[in-house]
Structure 1
């Protein structure tokens, strides 16, 4: 039983690490500047 729990906990920790790493990496490797993209959406709006 101890071996089973150790394997499960190890798998959960590795899965958590991979998920957090991917969640951190994907936005940083996307091309472009997110701030410029957001600002460019509003440049076509008329002044109020």
Structure 2
């Protein structure tokens, strides 16, 4: 259940990033902050 909530939060954040970006997206942050998960969600929306 916890993993699903994390994925839902990342999905919402990915949607927000896509809505508010124009052309380029730069994902930065410390190790373990969810950059890879956010990138995976962004790619999932771009591919579908």
Give TM-score scaled by structure 2 length. Answer: 0.43
Higher helix share: 1
User: TM (normalized to structure 1)?
Assistant: 0.43
